[in-house]
A and B are shown apart, each in its own frame.
Chain A
Amino acid sequence: MHKHPIRSLAVALTAALLVAACGQEAPPTAPKAEAPKAPEVLTVKIGSASPLTGPQAHIGIDIRNGVQLAIEDANAANVEIAGKKVKFEMVAEDDEANPTKATTVAQKLVDAKVVAVIGHFNSGASIPASKIYSDAGIPQISPSSTNPKYTEQGFKTTFRVVAHDGQQGPTLARFAAKTLQSKSVAVIDDSTAYGQGLADNFEATAKSLGIKVLAREHTTDKDTDFKAILTRIKGKKPDLIMFGGIDPQAAPMIKQMKDLGIQAKFIGGDGMQTPNFIKLAGDASEGAMASIPGLPKDQMPGGKTFLDKYKTKFNQEVELFAPMGYDSVMVFIEAMKRAGSSDPAKFLPEVGKTTYNGVIGPIAFDDKGDLKNGPITLYVVKGGKWEPLETVKPETGAGTAPAAAPAPAQETAKK
């Protein structure tokens, strides 16, 4: 019976195409709303691209949730652009944290006629995708990609709302030298673009400030056992351990430090300044320090409301980048309002001129599309909570930028 491979091939292909074709019918209905006949409601699609499956899915979903919350808030606030009521719609795609899939997903978003994209999570996905967005003239804000090269490709459409490695690392090092009076440090990174970039920048500044770097260790973003490298570090007796990486590694790491009887202080970047870090590390997290760009959340106009709303809606704490995803959407919407158009060609120039006070703090871009040097706040875990320790204003004289504009931020004020 099964002697006809051609036939089974045909069946398989038809099945695949059928599935494809069925799905394809769905999208075209939406743009119809844009037709002039429709009753003054303009549908604007905003793309969200992040890993929704695979080992980093929890962070990707967090980003998507942030975007979704922003879009719901914007819709509830009855945003109008050029006198027309606007309904925002999210198109979320899964890039599997895979560079090849990321480009496919990017093309898919372009095909779906989104006007702006929030994504991707990994620099490895953001960079190849950025070319496709640039070719299509669609602005892209990455909530999380820290690789400096992302904005150095000469594209006008690439932005990010996360401090890149050159901003946070040195601040951490200065804090270690001045406030903590550290004399020696061991540096660990998770071999990712984010963790290594952060650790490298920390190490360089720390050395220049006279802190001795006793050990430079590496782990991966999939490991949970750090006893070996910690034991080595224990032998060198540093008074500080700095980790470039995110909470699923940072939490077991600090636990194992305590198990091994290491007394050194523990410090990291925004990747571990999360509620989950405390949850995962339990009592061991007490005294850990981490920096995060922006002002303390409860001092921000919409910060507290955002965190509460997120918790009620998704029944979980913010993982990491949801606030960045949320603010990215708001930055786009503000730009559309200023430009009086949801056409990317028209509002793209406005994105670069953003001055917005978001959940994460003041947002403004430099000419490359990087987040302008803003304040960075250091936190410490005290009584099972992240407590702000001190806020470091940018060193490079640009200190006036964040102070400016109490910003209307009406979306967040509204319930």
Chain B
Amino acid sequence: MNIAALFNDRHYRWFAWGAVVLVLLALPFITEAVLGRSWVRIIAVSLLFVMLALGLNIVVGFAGLLDLGYIAFFAVGAYSYALLASPQFAVHWPFLLLLPLGAAIAAVFGILLGAPTLRLRGDYLAIVTLGFGEIIRVFLNNLNRPVNITNGPQGITLIDPLQMGGFSLAQTHSFAGLTFSPVHNYYFVFLVCAALTIALSLRLQNSRIGRAWVAIRDDELAASAMGINTRNVKLLAFAMGATFGGVAGGLFASFQGFISPESFQLIDSIMVLCMVVLGGMGNVAGVALGAVLLTALPEALRYIGPLQQRWFGGVLVDPADLRMLLFGLALVLMMLLRPEGLWPVRRRQAGKGNADAG
């Protein structure tokens, strides 16, 4: 009955993980057959958001620093990639170089944000990070004059896809009787990256640094009394979180082939925060779940239009409005029913993982 036990059982563990991997590998093909290719795209995008949400989770969930401008790092990663792999400056660097570079630049921005805000707490930090997100967006929107760098609101087109040699993910490939459309290709790349992000998050959580973050979150004063260098540890949280966002941004730019400042608005930061909190702040699996759920839910709610037609024989409420109303309602209800998040972090898990399973 208890599925989780399967993964802990020594004999079945490999079997259980094998099944998970198999399902994930088959997922895009099954989805395409059942729900259509648009859902493969939705799942792929949700994996991007898993990476973003886990990055923000480091800042908000682990270190307890409320960040309302997280999408800025996504933007920085995306623009780093786009500027160096598009006709904008007529340079086309390989992605193997650009993705780490984007991550590094994002990390620098993370520190830039973190440094002046070290003394701030709670909601004061929230508004400064919010401002930071807006500042980045406004700059991206306006750095087309006097010198054109970002091409302003018109955005950057014809961004290179992930490619190596003659093999490009933007083309359809056939392999072993299966068709890999660009969406499928990117799904697998995103899957690997998301898996790496999850693994890294789990390792970080149980590391010295992870424990230091939690200590700061729970009581900063006590943490510094225990000899934790709160400044460095906080900056590290911002930098690590930004790194995840930067990589996701680079992947996003290559996936979309076009970016403009419209993709990096405050509302996007808020949505990523919702994923973290709603999934279960601090719990890696919960946050990943939140990301998938909040990406898929609005898309699933698109079917409400036809359903309304079928059930009530007419359009009572504009389906587009109804969709947003239901989404808002879902946010409220989920939080009221599970204030700790859908899959909260277990209390007192720090020492031994299985202290109180019952």
Contact = CB atoms under 8 A, between A and B. Distances in A.
Direct chain A–B contact by Cβ atoms under 8 Å? yes
A93 interface: yes
Interface in B211-263: 252, 256-260, 262-263
Interface string A193-228: 100110000000000000000000010000000000
Interface string A95-114: 00111100111011011100
Contact of A128 (B35, B256, B358): B256
B286 interface: yes
B35 A24 contact: yes
Contact of A107 (B41, B258, B260): B41
A2 B338 contact: yes
Interface stretch (A5-13, A33-41, A292-300, A323-331): A5-13
A167 interface: no
A13 B295 CA distance: 12
Interface string A72-108: 0000000000000000000001100111100111011
A124 B303 contact: no
Contact of A23 (B302, B338, B358): B302
A99 B262 contact: yes
B16 interface: no
Tell me which of B34, B38, B155, B280 has the highest count of chain A C-beta atoms within 10 A of its own C-beta.
B38
Interface string A244-271: 0000000000000000000000000000
Interface in A111-133: 111-112, 122-124, 127-128, 131
B9 interface: no
A20 interface: yes
B150 to A, nearest CB: 12
B4 A107 contact: no
Contacts, number: 145
Nearest to B152: A196
Most buried by B among A20, A21, A22: A20
A233 B183 CA distance: 50
Interface stretch (B17-25, B60-68, B317-325): B317-325
Nearest to B263: A99
B142 A12 contact: no
Contact of B260 (A26, A99, A104, A111): A99
Contacts of A147: 154-155
B41 A5 contact: no
B306 A93 contact: no
B187 interface: no
A3 to B, nearest CB: 7
Contacts of A181: none
A77 to B, nearest CB: 25
Contacts of B314: none
A2 to B, nearest CB: 7
Contacts of B141: 191
A131 B36 contact: no
A395 interface: no
A103 B343 contact: no
Contacts of A152: 157
A320 interface: no
B296 A16 contact: yes
A131 B157 CA distance: 11
Contacts of A107: 36-38, 41, 183
Interface string B279-303: 0100001100100010011011111
Contacts of A218: 142
Contacts of B307: 19, 22-23, 26
A314 B45 CA distance: 36
A231 interface: no
A196 B286 CA distance: 43
B10 interface: no
Contact of A149 (B38, B42, B157): B157
Given A53-B320, A110-B38, 10 more contacts: A5-B342, A13-B293, A20-B303, A21-B35, A93-B302, A107-B37, A111-B37, A149-B157, A153-B157, A196-B154
- Nearest 6 CB-CB pairings of A with B: A23-B303, A111-B36, A52-B320, A107-B38, A108-B38, A5-B343
9 contacts: A22-B307, A23-B300, A52-B318, A52-B320, A57-B320, A111-B36, A127-B155, A128-B257, A152-B157
